[in-house]
Chains A and B, each alone.
Chain A
Amino acid sequence: MSEDGRAVVRELLRHYAPHFPSRHSGRLIEDTSEFMEIGYGDVMALAGKHYLVIRDEAERRFGMEDPKFWVKRCTELESGERKIIKLVFYETFPLRIGDFEIYCHRSPDKEARILNLVRDDLRFMQGQTVRDSKDNNVRILDVVHGKRLDTVVEDIDADHEHYFHHFFPSILEKFIGSCESIAFLHAHGEKHGDIRRDHLWVEYQTGAYRWIDFDYAFDFHENPFGLDIFGLGNILLFVTGKGEHTTHTLKTGGNGQTGSPALTPDDFSLMFPHRLSNLKKLFPYIPTELNNVLLHFSAGSYVFYDTVGEFLDELRPCLQALR
């Protein structure tokens, strides 16, 4: 193809995106192997459609932008829809959880498999997997129009007690639905792999909770779903407490607590010794049943949940108790 298909791209943009500045018109990409070289103005030709690259995705971590060069924000030219396109990138990297370092593997095939499993199940992000000209696995994802759950919770303008009585029950109800969707994955032998509060999104239009990003794989043999359960526990702790309550916030009095707690190391998270799990000591109106679920994730616990089902069996009655 002449000029790396630039003439084709110019023509596509002229037809589908006439407002796109022609000076930024790039190459036509059919082989996505060299994802670092694919950038703004390039058009990826995949499975009969064309995707104009707008930018690389980035995650905001520790106050800094962390670019993800293998994930492209795109516009599907034929439909005008925004898409997120994930290209093949294999990496293995250590992930720190409390005192542990776990080796995490990025697996495009795992994510493709889960996308297939959850097709039309709107508890999860949606997308399809196609192959480029070099048979690379390319995931074309629909954008979830919404906001991270943690941001939604933090932005509720209420003190904890008001939040807990008036907003939390419906949040818990939806969160239980999200746990059920993780149980669905486990029942099919799959793990989410990266359950964090910024991977659960609240859709603007429907208020539905949706999981995103399934490409992390781990080798946890005796307790394959342990990491997912740990992630669910962390989110429950966050939404119950309307934020994190740490040794730092306890010292600075930024918790809005109504209790006067006498805390011991057993009251804190098993994995993160600075993070309070025993929230009832801070907010005495939290029902004991719910607090007991939180305590399963604390340093004082000797009994852990083996399955999401066990977790849900104790969490569902808490919702009934709150209503």
Chain B
Amino acid sequence: MDFKKILIAVDGSENASRAVSYVGDMMAGAPGVQIMLLCIERFPDRDLFPDEASWKTRCTEHRDELHRFLLQARTLLVTKGIADTAISERYVVSCSSPFADRSATRCSFGTSIAQEILAVLKEEEFGTVVVGRRGVSKAEEFLFGSVSNKIIHHAKNCTVWVVA
């Protein structure tokens, strides 16, 4: 397992920014590093909006935010000393997307981001997976779930970095 082949799961949050920054600091100048920024698109439920138009507007905004974040994350890694050519990105679109690309070969069902991350981790044989963590209470974990906890529990044959 190549532990320098690193998958950073990002979602546009501050926790994800910290995870990217940490990887940049840890791996700057290290030879043979490959980093993939993985972003799983997850749109808000259509049921939360009174009409298609307002839902699409929010989805468009959300997608723009995620793409901006990916660009910023790449820039941050380069600033920290990671070669631009060592960085790749993957953006997994939502299966329930209101846009035309929902027929993409891989799409996210949005029921468990952790499972989607683990699937990419396994397929691409990453040696390290990095996630941010906002720090949840037990009650919050029960109700809302925790991506980082699920990854800690289910990831195999790799190192897990959780940046809190």
* Complex alpha-carbon distance, A217 and B55, angstroms: 14
* CB pair A223 B47 closer than 8 Å: no
* Complex alpha-carbon distance, A230 and B44, angstroms: 22
* Complex alpha-carbon distance, A270 and B136, angstroms: 14
Q: Considering only CB atoms, which chain A residue lies closest to B46 in the complex?
A: A109
* CB pair A304 B141 closer than 8 Å: yes
Tell me the minimal C-beta distance from B118 to chain A in angstroms: 13
* Complex alpha-carbon distance, A92 and B49, angstroms: 10
Q: Considering only CB atoms, which chain A residue lies closest to B136 in the complex?
A: A222
Complex interface: chain B residues within 8 A of A222 (CB): 112-114, 144-147, 150
Tell me the minimal C-beta distance from B153 to chain A in angstroms: 10
Question: Is B110 located at the chain interface by the 8 A CB criterion?
Answer: yes
Question: Is B50 located at the chain interface by the 8 A CB criterion?
Answer: yes
Q: Mask for A213-229, Cβ within 8 A of B = 1, else 0?
A: 00001011111101100
Question: Is A105 located at the chain interface by the 8 A CB criterion?
Answer: yes
Given A222-B113, A222-B145, the answer on whether A98 and B139 have CB atoms closer than 8 Å is yes
Complex interface: chain B residues within 8 A of A92 (CB): 48
Residues of B contacting A: mostly: helix
Complex interface: chain A residues within 8 A of B105 (CB): none
Question: Is A100 located at the chain interface by the 8 A CB criterion?
Answer: yes
* CB pair A304 B142 closer than 8 Å: yes
Complex interface: chain A residues within 8 A of B138 (CB): 270, 299, 301-302
Q: Mask for A78-107, Cβ within 8 A of B = 1, else 0?
A: 000000000000101000011110100101
Tell me the minimal C-beta distance from A7 to chain B in angstroms: 35
Interface positions, chain A 270-323, Cβ under 8 Å from B, are 270-271, 299, 301-302, 304
Question: Is B143 located at the chain interface by the 8 A CB criterion?
Answer: yes
Tell me the minimal C-beta distance from A218 to chain B in angstroms: 8
Cβ contact of B48, chosen from A97, A217, A224, cutoff 8 A: A217
* CB pair B147 A219 closer than 8 Å: no
Q: Mask for B109-141, Cβ within 8 A of A = 1, else 0?
A: 011111000000000000000000000001111
Complex interface: chain B residues within 8 A of A102 (CB): 143
Question: Is B74 located at the chain interface by the 8 A CB criterion?
Answer: no
Tell me the minimal C-beta distance from A109 to chain B in angstroms: 6
Cβ contact of A219, chosen from B44, B113, B141, B145, cutoff 8 A: B44
Query: For this complex, into which size category does the number of interface residues on chain A fall?
Result: 20 to 34
Interface positions, chain A 221-253, Cβ under 8 Å from B, are 221-224, 226-227, 230
Given A221-B42, A222-B150, the answer on whether A97 and B143 have CB atoms closer than 8 Å is yes
Tell me the minimal C-beta distance from A96 to chain B in angstroms: 12
Complex interface: chain B residues within 8 A of A301 (CB): 138
Question: Is B45 located at the chain interface by the 8 A CB criterion?
Answer: yes
Complex interface: chain B residues within 8 A of A110 (CB): 47
* CB pair B142 A109 closer than 8 Å: no
Cβ contact of A230, chosen from B42, B110, B114, B142, cutoff 8 A: B142
Q: Considering only CB atoms, which chain A residue lies closest to B139 in the complex?
A: A270
* Complex alpha-carbon distance, A272 and B113, angstroms: 28
Tell me the minimal C-beta distance from A271 to chain B in angstroms: 6
Cβ contact of B113, chosen from A90, A221, A270, A302, cutoff 8 A: A221
Cβ contact of A223, chosen from B42, B45, B139, B143, cutoff 8 A: B143
Interface positions, chain A 91-143, Cβ under 8 Å from B, are 92, 97-100, 102, 105, 107, 109-110
* CB pair A105 B143 closer than 8 Å: no
Complex interface: chain B residues within 8 A of A227 (CB): 143
Given A100-B143, A230-B143, the answer on whether A109 and B47 have CB atoms closer than 8 Å is yes
* Complex alpha-carbon distance, A98 and B110, angstroms: 26
Interface positions, chain A 156-212, Cβ under 8 Å from B, are 189
* Complex alpha-carbon distance, A223 and B150, angstroms: 11
Given A270-B138, A299-B138, A302-B138, the answer on whether A220 and B48 have CB atoms closer than 8 Å is no
Complex interface: chain A residues within 8 A of B111 (CB): 189, 224
* Complex alpha-carbon distance, A201 and B48, angstroms: 27
Q: Apart from A217-B48, A222-B112, what are 19 other A-B pairs with CB-CB below 8 Å?
A: A97-B143, A100-B139, A100-B143, A102-B143, A105-B47, A110-B47, A219-B48, A221-B110, A221-B144, A222-B145, A222-B147, A223-B142, A226-B145, A227-B143, A230-B142, A270-B139, A270-B142, A301-B138, A302-B138
- Can you list 13 A-B pairs, Cβ within 8 angstroms, ordered by A? A92-B48, A98-B139, A100-B139, A109-B46, A219-B45, A221-B42, A222-B112, A222-B113, A222-B144, A222-B145, A226-B142, A226-B145, A301-B138
CB within 8 Å of B: which residues of A? 90, 92, 97-100, 102, 105, 107, 109-110, 189, 217, 219-224, 226-227, 230, 270-271, 299, 301-302, 304
